[in-house]
Amino acid sequence: MENKIYDTIIIGGGPAGLGAALYAGRAKMSALLLERAKFGGQAATTSEIENYPGSIQDETAPQIARMKQQAENFGTEIVKDEIVKVELEGEVKTLTGKNGEYKARTIIIATGANPRLAGFKNEVELRGKGVSYCATCDADFFEELDVAVVGGGDSALDEAIYLTKFAEKVTVIHRRDEFRGNKSVQERVFANDKIDILWDSVVEEAIDNDGILGGLKIKNVKTNEISDLAVDGCFVFVGYNPTTKVFEGTSLKLSDRGEIITDEDMRTNIEGVFAAGDVRKKSLRQVITATSDGAIAATQAEHYIANK
């Protein structure tokens, strides 16, 4: 494999990477997908995906498995490896993994991003069981129920407003005594009767009630007082960490948050290098937009090679 030069190598086996792998294979490109861990990305950690077109309740895992199978059926090779070094310039790009070296004429980066954790007890254990990082994905599961939003940035406030379309009550938990950022968004929050705000507060613990969220323990950072908050859902919005560490120090252009900057055709600032999905700078991080990005990236990679 080390001597082979692929038409494209896709880094990442989430929906964006699998979408790219499907379109690359279908375009008769010699394609390799490299995934370091679990296929499916964040989608594989969600118990249900109701807002993906054609999805059926409780079929998240089969959807991801079918994506992978489709890509393999069209000839894309799939290998487990973690990339530790990249050389992206030139007509042939080189990726060095823990298990080998790989070369290709184009690279599609689909390494994804992970929501930052708030750091409270049982946060990881109750993820997908009452603790969520995506209101667009999970809000309808909490219709007419009480939920909390952890965070005080613009995205947290936007999500709190969105959640009021479904929840009976939304409590915003913010560690400071004021919000920073967009004043118009703040005004909408203050004017919404469904939203309460707990200032100077952090979540100490998500209460585990037989494997599902049973409420929150809240700590006031000024008085150290601990209190209980009865909620059915907890939405954490304290930012995203794009998986781009291996690209730091290269000529690949990143945003100040570490996201890869692309145009609408998924092209980066380096010829022959594309990015797709949550790893790139974008406004909506969903399975449907990730697979769309992957399809565009693979199609543009094929055009790039054809024009060469």
- Are the C-beta atoms of 203 and 152 separated by less than 8 Å? no
Give me the domain span that covers residue 188.
131-236
What pLDDT shows up at residue 55?
A: 63
Instruction: Give a yes or no: residue 126 inside a domain.
Output: no
Which pLDDT does position 41 carry in this prediction? 56
Please indicate, yes or no, whether residues 102 and 18 belong to a single structural domain of this protein. Answer: yes
Confidence (pLDDT) at 218: 98
Question: Residue 47: what pLDDT?
Answer: 44
**Main-chain dihedrals φ then ψ at residue 184, nearest 5 degrees:** -65, -35
Going residue by residue through the chain, which has 308 residues, state the pLDDT in tens, using 9 for 90 and above: 557 999 999 999 999 999 999 999 999 999 999 998 766 555 544 445 555 656 655 555 446 678 888 889 999 999 999 999 999 999 999 999 999 999 999 999 999 998 899 999 999 999 999 999 988 889 999 999 999 999 998 889 989 999 999 999 999 999 999 998 789 999 999 999 999 999 999 999 999 999 999 999 999 999 999 999 999 999 999 988 999 999 999 999 999 989 999 999 999 999 999 999 999 998 887 788 999 999 999 999 999 999 98
pLDDT computed for residue 239 by the predictor? 85
Domain boundary among 236, 261, 276: 236
Same domain, 163 and 220: yes
121 assigned to some structural domain? no
SS3 of 113-144: the string is EEECCCCCECCCCCECCCEECCHHHHHHHHCC
User: Does residue 139 form part of some domain?
Assistant: yes
Q: Do 162 and 215 fall into the same domain?
A: yes
Same domain, yes or no: 12 and 108? yes
32 shares a domain with 176 = no
Tell me what pLDDT residue 240 has.
84
Is residue 167 located within the same domain as residue 221?
A: yes
Active site residue: 7, 81, 137, 232, which one?
137
pLDDT for 180 equals: 85
Residue 142 shares a structural domain with residue 284: no
Do residues 198 and 223 both lie within one domain? yes
Q: Per the domain annotation, does 292 fall within a domain?
A: yes
Same domain, 172 and 226: yes
Q: What is the CA radius of gyration of the chain?
A: 21
Q: Are residues 111 and 135 in the same domain?
A: no
Instruction: Classify residue 144 as left (phi > 0), alpha (psi -120 to 50) or beta.
Output: left
Q: Say if 183 falls within a structural domain.
A: yes
**Residue 20, pLDDT score:** 97
Catalytic residue (choose from 7, 81, 138, 146) = 138
Tokens 């989608």, residue? 43
The model carries a pTM of 0.72
Q: Going by C-beta distance under 8 Å and a sequence separation of 6 or more, which residues neighbour residue 92?
A: 5, 103, 104, 105
Pairing of strands 240-242, 113-115: antiparallel
CATH number of the domain within which 154 lies: 3.50.50.60
The reply to whether 125 falls in a domain is: no
The answer as to whether 120 is a domain residue is no
pLDDT of residue 8: 98
Q: Pairing state of beta strands 212-220 and 226-229? A: antiparallel
pLDDT at 44: 47
Q: Are residues 189 and 248 in the same domain?
A: no
Beta strand 83-87 pairing with 212-220: unpaired
CB 68: neighbour CB atoms within 10 A?
20
* Domain assignment present for 20: yes
Residue at which a domain ends, from 211, 236, 261: 236
| Helices 15-26, 287-307: crossing angle, 10 deg rounding | 40
234 is catalytic: no
Please report the pLDDT score of residue 62 as a whole number.
46
Question: How many domains does the chain contain in total?
Answer: 2
Domain identity same for 244 and 110: yes
CA-CA-CA-CA dihedral for 138, 129, 235, 281, to nearest 10: -60
Which of 7, 58, 81, 134 is catalytic? The answer is 134
Task: Tell me which of 236, 269, 292 is where a domain ends.
Answer: 236
